[in-house]
Amino acid sequence: MKIAFLTDQYVTDDKNEGGVGNYLAKMGAALSKHGHHVEVFALVNHPHNTTIVNGITIHSIKKPDSILFKVLKRLILYLFSQEAYENINTIIYSYILNKAFEKRDKNIKFDIVQSTNYPQTGFFVKRKQGRKHYLRLSTSRLLFDKASFKKIKLSQKITEKIDLHCIRKADHSYSPSQFLSDYFEKKYALDISVVRPPAILYIDPAKKIPFNLPKRYLVHFGILGFRKGTDLVAEALEKAWKSNPDLKMVWVGRYSQDIGTPIHEKLEDTKERLIWIDHQPSSQLYKIVSDSIASVLPSRADNLPNTVIESLLLGVPVIGFSNASIDELVIAGKNGELVPSNDTDALAIAMIQAWDENKDWLNGNMTHLPVFDEMQAEQAVKNFLELESQ
């Protein structure tokens, strides 16, 4: 089959740490490996170009930066707000993506086009006989922004309304997690399928990393911020140090914009015990994670996070909260530990137990879970292609 993906991020872009981009790289590689023709239309900050990576044709569509566009941006910001600009910007980007896709579709005649709701890349995708439009739900602004302690503004409410419009006009909509699917079903009475992503690593861990790390450490990685529970990891870490002052931890990733002062800078006496490393290429990140004792990934709200999947694929158990879709990947005592949401005392205890190697799931003794059978590349591809029958 011929499949197109519309996205504002991909792993070849200059900001490649996004969950959507990483998912598309894995799903695209799995589809291509199983004989399907895959093309990605991605908005980027560099000039237009077309490349082929892992059998996937990637059309990099440059974001507008003309003088007229910059003047329009300033006018919108002056008359309205940053949030209003972002809403309008999303629609403009969606139009640009769809224009490039439709031009290509005249020659290729795609069987499936998949858009995302982060942002709403399928806003202008039209129904066409012989072509299916799938929409992948990556977020709910109202749900996720609340978990990030952001004040819910009119712009977020408008964005969620646009999401609902896009869901209803797509042929089929799905979420990687039951957590997000249940949210849209309960709040909006929408039937959202659950299609798991392929559990694969599209690149091997590096053999070496260009900096020194402790011999033993716990790791927290990805986007660092409130929704991902970085502040709670810091709080639990301070509690764990009271009884285990030699416990060491490595954080890898960029801070989300709403954080303000980086959280690790607020902790006292952390130079030797807590090491922060900025965003790394996937191969180096995988090396750092694979060398750790366990990953600490206590998201407040999430959507089957890539960080958890990648950690488990690298043979590293996960400590997280017993909700937010992490419990769809981790079973306490089998491949990690789950503690009640926002309970930093329990999180600290779990970190101490991992550090002291006081759990059966450590040192490569994790139990294989059935959910990962569903996420094997061949099965994930089959589930994606059979979305229409679900």
**How many domains does the structure of the chain reveal?**
2
Neighbouring C-beta atoms of residue 128, cutoff 10 Å: 13
Whole-number Å distance between alpha carbons of 325 and 328:
5
Q: How far is CA 235 from CA 87, 148, 308, 352, 390, in A?
A: 35, 16, 21, 13, 43
Is 336 a domain residue? yes
Q: How far is CA 261 from CA 257, 266, 268, 297, in A?
A: 10, 8, 14, 20
Q: How high does pLDDT run on average in the chain? A: 90
Q: In the prediction, which pLDDT does 168 show?
A: 94
Q: Quote the domain boundaries for residue 188.
A: 2-198+376-389
Banded model confidence at residue 268, pLDDT cuts 50, 70, 90: confident
Q: What is the mean pLDDT of residues 252-260?
A: 88
Asked if 147 and 80 sit in the same domain, the reply is yes
Asked if 285 and 186 sit in the same domain, the reply is no
pLDDT tens per residue across span 343-371: 999 999 999 999 999 999 998 899 999 99
Residues near 281 by beta carbon (within 8 Å), at least 6 away in sequence:
206
What pTM was computed for the model?
A: 0.89
Asked if 134 and 253 sit in the same domain, the reply is no
Which is more confident, 47 or 308?
A: 308
Contact between 60 and 44 (Cβ < 8 Å): yes
Is 362 a domain residue? yes
| Tokens coding 246 | 């030699």
Is 301 a domain residue? yes
Q: In the prediction, which pLDDT does 14 show?
A: 46
Banded model confidence at residue 82, pLDDT cuts 50, 70, 90: low
Is 209 a domain residue? no
Asked if 173 and 240 sit in the same domain, the reply is no
Q: In the prediction, which pLDDT does 325 show?
A: 96
Whole-number Å distance between alpha carbons of 245 and 249:
11
Instruction: Give me the CATH number covering residue 70.
Output: 3.40.50.2000
pLDDT tens per residue across span 5-33: 999 888 765 444 577 888 898 899 999 99
Burial 157-174 (b: 16+ CB within 10 A, else e): eebbebbeebbeebebbb
Asked if 138 and 231 sit in the same domain, the reply is no
Asked if 232 and 365 sit in the same domain, the reply is yes
Is 58 a domain residue? yes
Is 213 a domain residue? no
Asked if 185 and 228 sit in the same domain, the reply is no
Q: What value does the CA radius of gyration of the chain take, rounded to a whole number of Å?
A: 21
Asked if 123 and 270 sit in the same domain, the reply is no
Whether the pLDDT of residue 150 is over 80: the answer is: no
Is 204 a domain residue? no
Q: Per-residue DSSP letters for 168-201?
A: HHSSEEEES-HHHHHHHHHHH----EE-PPP---
Asked if 13 and 158 sit in the same domain, the reply is yes
Which is more confident, 17 or 87?
A: 87
Is 208 a domain residue? no
Whether the pLDDT of residue 167 is over 90: the answer is: yes
Whether the pLDDT of residue 146 is over 70: the answer is: yes
Asked if 59 and 160 sit in the same domain, the reply is yes
Asked if 132 and 184 sit in the same domain, the reply is yes
Whole-number Å distance between alpha carbons of 310 and 199:
8
Asked if 360 and 272 sit in the same domain, the reply is yes
